[in-house]
């Protein structure tokens, strides 16, 4: 790699990413603790997250080491391999908490749906970058099928959160590229019909119950409403300054469920309070702003569209997860990037940011 490329590196984005990851590891260290008679006992979630972070750094460096335009040639092979892995899940997948989403490799488990986010993003960017004009019906349907193919496999696992996220990422990329007026109007009119189809056909009973619980958590406080109620209690009890590191009662006494993954930010809110949450949200905003600035500065359509896809990948996860833990959205199982525990997700997060840094480093190399 040409050393001169590092002078164009987006150092602000790199700093935000590493700081968020360290905050996440510290939060997992606290969330892993459970009060016992002799003090605190800790599980190994934060240690595994550190290991995955090191693997992610390797993936990030690899993603930075070549000209990102070569991803055009890898888009279709990677997409087809991902579809093959998704087809393997029902046959050879491992069931956890009633859902079959993971493939066991012996020493670790891989979630192919996480790779699907990356595959759809790269292939979507390739198709959208072919022509700068707004999409007509033919091109729109071609790009949409790229997202619908893996989503049809993922929703059967079942994994509504990842299905929704892939469609939102692709939708954001399509809107950024532009649609012809008649296509956009038809899509807007089709939204109610699509919502009805998802409600009656695409969702399982427990997923519909989550939405009903979102409307009235108190209707089932010990069942489906338990997650949201305990999350609100945890965040609210943090008040202005929080209870302090490892001093959160809701998490340490195990009242808060899924405190390592979907509700990790509730642990943070209880321990660091409103002020800490404002700092965390500000850090995420700077993080997203750094990604978007790279998209604006990119000198080719493929690079710009690619980075926009990464922007929406993180934007929707941050928005949905934070809204979910305070009861503004239903619980759909979407983690918070870098804060929630997740091996495959951490690897994909770092790799995607490596692609963004790749585009940033090469933005002055060519025009077009």
Predicted confidence at residue 223, as pLDDT, reads: 59
- Whether residue 169 is contained in a domain is answered as yes
Predicted confidence at residue 367, as pLDDT, reads: 46
**Cα 92 to Cα 2, 103, 104, 159, 343, distances in angstroms:** 43, 7, 8, 17, 19
Predicted confidence at residue 42, as pLDDT, reads: 52
Predicted confidence at residue 365, as pLDDT, reads: 61
Q: What is the pLDDT of residues 2-35, one digit of tens each?
A: 666 677 788 899 999 999 999 999 888 887 765 5
Peptide bond into 158 cis (omega under 30): yes
Predicted confidence at residue 36, as pLDDT, reads: 45
Predicted confidence at residue 244, as pLDDT, reads: 77
Strand-strand pairing, 94-96 and 39-42? unpaired
Burial class (CB in 10 A: 0-12, 13-18, 19+), 39: exposed
Domain that holds residue 148: 3-362
Task: State how far the Cα of 119 lies from the Cα of 114, in Å rounded to an integer.
Answer: 9
First vs last Cα of the chain: how many Å apart?
A: 22
- Whether residue 65 is contained in a domain is answered as yes
Return the bridge partners of 99, or none. Answer: 96
Pick out the chain residues at pLDDT < 50: 36-41, 367-368
Task: State how far the Cα of 196 lies from the Cα of 351, in Å rounded to an integer.
Answer: 36
- Whether residue 98 is contained in a domain is answered as yes
Task: State how far the Cα of 259 lies from the Cα of 9, in Å rounded to an integer.
Answer: 35
**Measuring CA to CA, which residue among 77, 49, 19, 97 is closest to residue 342?**
49
Task: State how far the Cα of 30 lies from the Cα of 50, in Å rounded to an integer.
Answer: 14
Phi-psi region of 256 (alpha: psi -120 to 50; beta: other; left: phi over 0): beta
Q: What is the pLDDT of residues 336-350, one digit of tens each?
A: 899 988 888 898 899
- Whether residue 368 is contained in a domain is answered as no
**Measuring CA to CA, which residue among 114, 117, 166 is closest to residue 346?**
114
Phi–psi pair at 99, nearest 5 degrees = -120, 135
- Whether residue 55 is contained in a domain is answered as yes
Predicted confidence at residue 58, as pLDDT, reads: 92
3-class DSSP state of 103: strand
Predicted confidence at residue 263, as pLDDT, reads: 80
pTM of the model: 0.86
- Whether residue 367 is contained in a domain is answered as no
Number of structural domains found in the chain:
1
Helices (H), 178-300: 181-197, 205-215, 226-237, 249-252, 264-297
């Amino acid at each position: 790699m040409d050393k001169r490329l590092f002078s164009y590196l987006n150092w602000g984005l790199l700093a935000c990413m590493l700081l968020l990851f360290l905050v996440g590891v510290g939060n997992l260290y606290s969330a892993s603790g459970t009060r016992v008679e002799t003090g605190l006992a800790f599980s190994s979630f934060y240690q595994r997250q550190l290991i995955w972070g090191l693997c992610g750094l390797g993936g990030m460096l690899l993603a930075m080491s070549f000209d990102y335009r070569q991803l055009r040639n890898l888009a279709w092979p990677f997409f087809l391999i991902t579809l093959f892995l998704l087809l393997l899940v029902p046959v050879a997948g491992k069931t956890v908490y009633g859902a079959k989403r993971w493939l066991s490799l012996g020493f670790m488990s891989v979630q192919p749906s996480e790779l699907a986010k990356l595959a759809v993003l790269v292939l979507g960017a390739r198709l959208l970058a072919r022509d700068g004009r707004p999409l007509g019906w033919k091109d729109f349907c071609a790009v949409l099928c790229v997202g619908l193919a893996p989503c049809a496999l993922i929703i059967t696992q079942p994994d509504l959160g990842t299905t929704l996220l892939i469609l939102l990422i692709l939708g954001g990329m399509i809107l950024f590229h532009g649609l012809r007026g008649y296509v956009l109007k038809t899509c807007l009119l089709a939204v109610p019909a699509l919502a009805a189809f998802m409600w009656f056909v695409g969702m399982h009973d427990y997923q519909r119950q989550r939405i009903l619980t979102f409307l009235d958590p108190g209707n089932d406080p010990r069942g489906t409403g338990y997650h949201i109620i305990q999350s609100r209690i945890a965040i609210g009890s943090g008040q202005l300054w929080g209870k302090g590191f490892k001093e959160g009662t809701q998490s340490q006494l195990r009242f808060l469920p899924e405190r390592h993954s979907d509700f990790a930010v509730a642990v943070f809110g209880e321990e660091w309070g409103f002020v800490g949450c404002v700092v965390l949200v500000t850090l995420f905003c700077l993080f997203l702003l750094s990604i978007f600035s790279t998209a604006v500065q990119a000198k080719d359509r493929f690079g710009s569209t690619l980075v926009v896809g990464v922007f929406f990948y993180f934007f929707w996860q941050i928005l949905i997860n934070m809204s979910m833990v305070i009861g503004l959205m239903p619980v759909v199982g979407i983690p918070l990037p870098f804060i929630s525990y997740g091996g495959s997700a951490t690897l994909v997060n770092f790799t995607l940011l490596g692609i963004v840094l790749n585009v940033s480093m090469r933005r002055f190399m060519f025009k077009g």
